[in-house]
Amino acid sequence: MSSTADLFQKQLHETGVAIEALLERLLMAEALPGETTRPTRLLAAMRHGALGGGKRLRPFLLAESARLCGADPKAALLAGAALELVHCYSLVHDDLPAMDDDDLRRGRPTVHKVYDDAMAILAGDSLLTLAFDVMARPEIHPDAAVRLDLVLGLSRAAGLGGMAGGQALDLEAEGRYETDRKPLTLSESDIRQLQAMKTGALLLFAVEAGGILGRASAPTQNALKAYGRAVGAAFQIADDILDVEADTATLGKEAGKDADRGKGTLVQRLGLDAAKAERDRLARTALEALGIFGAEADMLRAIAHFIVKRGH
């Protein structure tokens, strides 16, 4: 297992480097056909929000499920970059004062702190728009129908019935729309649904997108979906556990803030020990879903291990 863990760290790092290079290229100063000009300040705000940070876990999930399904690795990386643009847009908007009001992200000032709220709103909007631009490009796949499946899947995962909807539910979970000042209590299943949308939908789509690119068979796609759902849920619980346990210095953001806001997390609902057990159970479910695959799924298996063990 140790050599798989080493290989995983190496592959994760290499994918991260490749994604950074692609994002750098996608956020060049030169205008593309159909664009007039790329305004300097807006582009700088977009670059601040997208470059130089993060594990690039979503692109890694996409690249590994694509490899498992025999898809072109170069195309999978570009699709991963499109997905990462959506993830970055969501962080830029979530950090805004009107939303989660965070000054730091990965130890650096957030986009609205460096620029301003207006430029952060527009930078987020433009990162999201660019994601669909990239997903529609011929380099993603020679078959237009495949690219359309990706565009459609991405929009459903990111929109009102997915990530953005989950963020809306999360704001409600804070109790900011309560009029009678009673503390809001979400059921366990409400919390699971909220998290399946807020972070789960995009993680699940990352895995599905690999299958779409590789034109995977139905059994393969179903196995990947079961894996993606479990990994997504485990990831969010692990994140909430870290938020409670970590301190500001090691995490690079204001730790414990989510709990202060009274947000609905499974850690809060079930307690820390039960949440850890649930995280581990979901990781096992993810591994079981991969049972139909051989060693070619070892990197996907390593992700499930990584989520359980990661320090930040």
Q: How far is the CB of 3 from its own copies (least distance, A)?
A: 38
Structure tokens at 91: 């962080």
> Can residue 191 be called a binding residue for its own copies (CB under 8 A)?
no
The string of DSSP letters for 102-134 reads -SEETTEE-HHHHS-HHHHHHHHHHHHHHHHHH
- Our finding on whether 187 is near its own copies (CB under 8 A) is no
Site for its own copies contains 299 (CB under 8 A): no
Q: How far is it, in rounded angstroms, from Cα 264 to Cα 242?
A: 15
Six token digits for residue 24: 């750098």
Which residues within the stretch 217-236 sit at the binding site for its own copies (CB under 8 A)?
A: none
Q: Find all residues with CB under 8 Å of 181, minimum gap 6, and list them.
A: none
User: CB within 8 A of 17, min separation 6: which ones?
Assistant: none
On whether the CB atoms of residues 228 and 204 are closer than 8 A, the answer is yes
Q: Which of 51, 114, 171, 242 binds its own copies (CB under 8 A)?
A: 171
Pick one of 2, 3, 35, 179: the residue that binds its own copies (CB under 8 A).
35
The two structure tokens encoding residue 139: 């380099």
Distance between CA 227 and CA 307 in Å, rounded? 13
Tokens of 144: 């237009």
Q: Are strands 108-109 and 104-105 parallel, antiparallel or unpaired?
A: antiparallel
- Nearer to its own copies by Cβ, of 98 and 272: the residue is 98
Shortest Cβ distance from residue 133 to its own copies (Å)? 4
Q: Which is nearer to its own copies, 15 or 126 (CB)?
A: 126
Instruction: Single out the segment in contact with its own copies by CB under 8 A; choices: 103-111, 150-158, 220-228, 273-281.
Output: 150-158
**Helix, strand or coil, per DSSP, at residue 157:** helix
159 is an interface residue for its own copies by CB under 8 A: yes
Q: Which stretch binds its own copies (CB under 8 A): 110-118, 178-186, 243-251, 265-273?
A: 110-118
> Would you count residue 48 as binding its own copies (CB under 8 A)?
no
Interaction of residue 136 with its own copies, rule CB under 8 A = yes
Point out which residues bind its own copies (CB under 8 A). Answer: 31-39, 41-43, 46, 89, 93, 96, 98-99, 116-119, 121-122, 124-126, 128-130, 132-133, 136-137, 143-145, 147-148, 151-162, 164-169, 171-172, 176-177, 193, 196-197, 201
